[in-house]
Amino acid sequence: MSLLAINRYSGEAVYSQIAHRLQDEIQKSHTAGNYLPAEHVLAERFNVNRHTVRRAVDELIQCGLVERIHGKGTRVLDAPVDYTLGQVTRFTEQMEAGGSAATKILRKLVIPARGGVAQRLAVQEETPVIWFETLRSVDEHPYCLISHFLPLARFPELMNQFSSGSLHALINQCYQVQLRRVESLVTAILPQGDDASLLNMSQHQPVLRVKSINIDTKNNNPCEYALTRFRADRIQLRINP
């Protein structure tokens, strides 16, 4: 319970003061999964109208701190998960800490390499390339969408072999290829195409886009080009030099 009351003459809007107060309290007692008190309770506590509380909570939602669930309440969300960009990608292992991670395969195609894909895989234009589209989730909450591109000639049976689980583990097992990340290019964009709906997020909130190249550690040939879109409100990338 806060000691300081709302100051109606401070120049700062009441809803804004309440938003900051709630934000502080959420971060101090980082109770992810908990529910905020009901709106009418908060209204009584701060001595304001319920609509004013709603306006404050709107701010928290915009920040990605909480989510409203109709009929249930307003739930505190997990803080963005740190995702370390290292040499070896271990998506599943990194994310599994909290809950049950899952990878869903959305598309499996063979396409002719063009432009950036051909260039990054160091193959001729029109060379057949495997394209996997995967969606990763924790506890049914999607957090990233990955387009994987791999030269078909190098992994001739991968199209049939890959049906679930970790792609890199499968490659390691079936082809004795150890992958190492050599470069990542990170930027932020608004979600394109179906990405927003697949990630179950707003079209107007940004995603982190990471282009990465993985090479075969044995011969340093590029084997995979991956284009990952992270929900930026759920993920932050940790980079250690």
- Residue 214 phi, psi dihedral angles, 5° rounding: -110, 135
Among 44, 126, 139, 183, binds its own copies (CB under 8 A): 183
Residue 13 sits in the site that holds its own copies (CB under 8 A): no
Among 184, 198, 217, 221, binds its own copies (CB under 8 A): 184
Q: 3-class SS at 50?
A: helix
Pick the piece of the chain touching its own copies (CB under 8 A) from 14-22, 117-125, 133-141, 174-182: 174-182
Residues 6 or more apart whose CB falls under 8 angstroms from that of 160 comprise none
Residue 240 sits in the site that holds its own copies (CB under 8 A): yes
Beta-carbon count within 10 A of 40 CB: 11
Max CA pair span of the chain: 71
Residue 198 sits in the site that holds its own copies (CB under 8 A): no
End-to-end CA distance of the chain: 42
The binder of 193, among DNA, its own copies, none, by C-beta within 5 to 8 A per type, is none
Residue 143 sits in the site that holds its own copies (CB under 8 A): no
Compare residues 192 and 220 and give the one whose CB is closer to its own copies. Answer: 192
Residues 6 or more apart whose CB falls under 8 angstroms from that of 211 comprise 120, 184, 185, 225, 226, 227, 228
Q: Residues for the chain: how many in total?
A: 241
Q: How is residue 184 written in tokens?
A: 């990542």
The rounded distance, in Å, linking the Cα atoms of 137 and 99 is 10
Among 47, 84, 172, 202, binds DNA (CB under 7 A): 47
The rounded distance, in Å, linking the Cα atoms of 41 and 31 is 18
The binder of 142, among DNA, its own copies, none, by C-beta within 5 to 8 A per type, is none
**Residues 98-137: x/- map of binding to its own copies (CB under 8 A)?**
-----------------x----------------------
Pick the piece of the chain touching DNA (CB under 7 A) from 8-16, 100-108, 184-192, 218-226: 8-16
DSSP type of residue 35: B
The rounded distance, in Å, linking the Cα atoms of 21 and 19 is 5
Pick the piece of the chain touching DNA (CB under 7 A) from 67-75, 101-109, 180-188, 213-221: 67-75
Residues that bind DNA (CB under 7 A): 13-16, 35-36, 38-41, 47-52, 54-55, 68-74
Q: Which residues bind its own copies (CB under 8 A)?
A: 27, 62-64, 80, 82-83, 85-87, 90, 92, 95-96, 115, 180-190, 192, 202-208, 232, 235-241
